[in-house]
Structures are given as C-alpha cells and as structure tokens.
Homo-oligomer: A and B are copies of this chain.
Amino acid sequence: MKPLVQKYGGTSVASTERIEAVADRIVAAQIAGHPMVVVVSAMGDTTDDLLALARRITAEPPARELDMLLTAGERISMSLLSIALQARGRPAISFTGSQSGIITDGRHADAKILDVRGDRIRAALAAGRIVIVAGFQGVSAEREVTTLGRGGSDTTAVALAAALEAERCEIYTDVDGVYTADPRVVPQAVKLARIDYDAMLELASHGARVLHPRSVEVARRFGVPLHVRSSFNDSPGTVVEPMERIETDVVRGIACDAEVATLVVSGLPAGPGGAAEILAAVGRAGIRTLLLLQAPAPSGGELAILLQEADLERAEAALRPLLALPGTQVRTDAQVAAVSVVGHAIHSHPGTAGLILSALEGVRVEWISGSAICVTCVVPRAEAHRAMAQLHARLGLEGASPPPV
C-alpha cells in the first residue's frame, strides 16, 4: 500500500494533550493499513516565542542563526509526537529536515526545496515504523540548516508526498476545510468538498490561510492529491485535486488579504526608465509586489504597487534615493485590503467584472485587477468585510458546494 502523508499544524500540536490526540488519529490511520509519514509544525506559539527572544537581543537577527534557532521548534514537537506514538506501542521515529533529506537552496528564512532524498524515511517505513518529520526545515548543499518561510510545513508535507509517491497528503489544521469565504467574516460561507489546484492556489495566494501557496504549487506540479481536514473533529474536509475531476464553477471562493498597503509613485519621467528603476529598487530590497499597475498620465507616468503592509517602510526607504526628481511624488496607504474573487475563466467570462463591481455597490473600490482565474479588488480595509459579504451573496456562492464525496 502507498504511504499516507499527514501534516499537523501548530494549533494541532499546541499541548501534550493535543499531541496525544494527534497520536491517536495517526494510530487509527495506521491500523487502516497505511505506511505513515507525519509532518509537524512547532507547538502553538513556539516559533513566535523563539523569534521574540532573538528580537530582544537585536532588531535584525542574522538569518542563518535565526534558522538555527527556529528549527528547535519542530525538533520539540516531532520528538514528543514520536514519544506519544511509542507510548501507544507503535514503533515510531522522528527525523529532522536534514535527516529526512530535505535539500534546499541556501536562502535562509525563505529556502526553496531542491530535492527530497528520503532514504532514511524509506528505510524506516520498510521497517514498519511511523515516520515523524520536522516541517518547515531543510539543509543546504553547504550543510547549513535552512527554513522554508512561514507556512513551510505544508510545503514539506507535499514535497515528501511527491517524493514518496504517497496516496495523498492530508493537511490537518484548526479549520475543517476550504470555504467559499472566511466563515468568521461571511457566516453564509459554504465548505467546498472539492477544489482544483488552480483555484486553490489563487485563494491561498490572496489571503486564504488554510494552505500555504507554495504547497499548492508543488502539489499541482507533481499531481499530489491534497486533503484539508480538521484535527479537532472528523468532518470530511476538502479535497484539492486536478481540474478534470470536478465541475468548473465560474466562482469558487472569496479570499481577503487585509495586511496589504498601496504605494503610488506619480510624476515619473515619461519614458519607461522611471518605472523600471523603481521596480528594480523594490526587487533589490527583497520586496514582493502583489499587484502592479502602470498608467500613463499627462503630467508623467504613475506606478501603483500593492505590497505587504510589513514591507511598506522598507519599500519607501529603498525608493527614497530615486525620488529626488522634481515633480515626483509618493503616496502610500496602509489602510487597504485586497479582496479576491477566484474561479475558472472568471476574468474572461462575459460580464464578470461588471457583476463584481455591481456586487460591490457602496464600497469604494480603489483598484481592480484580474488574472485568468482571479479578480482582486483593493478596498479600504474598514470596508473589506462588507465587500466580502456582498460578493458572497451576489455571486451565488451560498449554494456553491457540490455534495460531499
């Protein structure tokens, strides 16, 4: 039988009691016959607590040592889970990212997985053991400990599932699946029994926190079936799978990223040079632009950038030397949110943009931008929840879910 990969997030392993509950769940899956590989995050707020210790020493801890520090978190949760499984009479063994053969590039705090060797995992599975793997971490070719960035444990789990040709990868979290919108914001939101990789990727990229976007990318690339479930109940959850297996609704869900900001540079030189230099400077500062809009204007070009609110200050600092030209001005707004509508062919579907804008009646839409399967509206942060509720109601999402499988 093919192995099953399960991933448990920080909330699911936040205490020894929760770890014991997870152990019971793993034993049940093993009894059902699966060779088991389990990826864990650090317990509860451990990662934040460790980060706070480092920040008490210096505002900018070096990334290499920060990775060394933070990887202590999964080391604790994985060994405790292995201890709990062995206390239940199940042979288990825990492996760090390095021991698991999670080979990454050398970019600390944001490393990318280059290869998954997994020899020790395969040997342990062949010996009948439940294998516990530290999420979020790997090792570079230079034998340096690396981390994959926030949410990286999802990526670890999917990459392992791909390398081990697992039957599927189950992501256990504190919500019981993927919803048409955040149910805390839109009470009418409906759980999706199924969603395809592309729509899931858009939802995850635009603020739906249930899965990390990179994990969805890896799952799509290697065709790993993903199953999002709650570790707190036995609700069936949501299956993320290739497109062909499911019907193609135009609209699949609504996501909101409330921690964004806009930065608009106006009065740029007429040629393309001005905007290109601005973007190059932003890139050099390591800042990811979420949306870009460049419009010509009579008084010089205007460039609008949507970025993470946390990056705004650094972006302004990076641009300061470039803005000495007379007439060049920068406006920023840290009080915005990006509300995204995700679904297949949404952008090309006749009338979708019009439908969205009319659904947003009464909301000040500052910016609208569409990709093939996603339309993002930048709105004042205070109006974001109302925007989501109106979109959810007017786009017919309340009856969106196919029946559970």
**A43 and chain B: residue at smallest CB distance:** B53
- Measured CB to CB, the residues of A under 8 A from B are 16, 19-20, 50, 53-54, 56-58, 61-62, 64-66, 68-69, 71-73, 75-76, 78-80, 82-84, 86-87, 92-94, 96, 99, 120, 143, 145
In the complex, what residues of B have CB within 8 A of residue A50's CB?
76
The answer to whether B84 touches A58 (Cβ under 8 A) is: yes
The answer to whether A68 touches B94 (Cβ under 8 A) is: yes
Query: In the bound complex, how far is the Cα of B153 from the Cα of A160, in angstroms?
Result: 35
Q: How far is the CB of A103 from chain B (nearest CB, A)?
A: 15
Task: Identify 6 residue pairs between A and B in the complex whose beta-carbon atoms are under 8 Å apart, listed by A's number.
Answer: A53-B80, A65-B82, A65-B83, A68-B96, A72-B72, A120-B143
Q: How far is the CB of A56 from chain B (nearest CB, A)?
A: 4
Q: How far is the CB of A309 from chain B (nearest CB, A)?
A: 25
In the complex, what residues of B have CB within 8 A of residue A69's CB?
75-76, 79-80, 83
**Known A72-B72, A75-B69; contact A83-B99, beta-carbon cutoff 8 A:** no
* A interface: dominant SS: helix
Q: How far is the CB of A52 from chain B (nearest CB, A)?
A: 9
List the number of copies, as a whole number. Answer: 2
Q: Which of B72, B83, B87, B96 contacts A66 (CB 8 A)?
A: B83
In the complex, what residues of B have CB within 8 A of residue A75's CB?
68-69, 71-72, 75
Query: In the bound complex, how far is the Cα of B66 from the Cα of A83, in angstroms?
Result: 8
**A46 and chain B: residue at smallest CB distance:** B72
User: Which among A73, A75, A84, A94 has the highest number of chain B CB atoms within 10 Å?
Assistant: A75
In the complex, what residues of B have CB within 8 A of residue A20's CB?
57
In the complex, what residues of B have CB within 8 A of residue A61's CB?
83, 86-87
**Known A76-B50, A93-B64; contact A83-B57, beta-carbon cutoff 8 A:** yes
Query: In the bound complex, how far is the Cα of B53 from the Cα of A82, in angstroms?
Result: 13
The answer to whether A57 touches B84 (Cβ under 8 A) is: yes
**Known A19-B57, A20-B57; contact A78-B82, beta-carbon cutoff 8 A:** no
The answer to whether A143 touches B56 (Cβ under 8 A) is: no
**Known A16-B56, A20-B57; contact A65-B87, beta-carbon cutoff 8 A:** no
Query: In the bound complex, how far is the Cα of B99 from the Cα of A57, in angstroms?
Result: 24
**A99 and chain B: residue at smallest CB distance:** B143
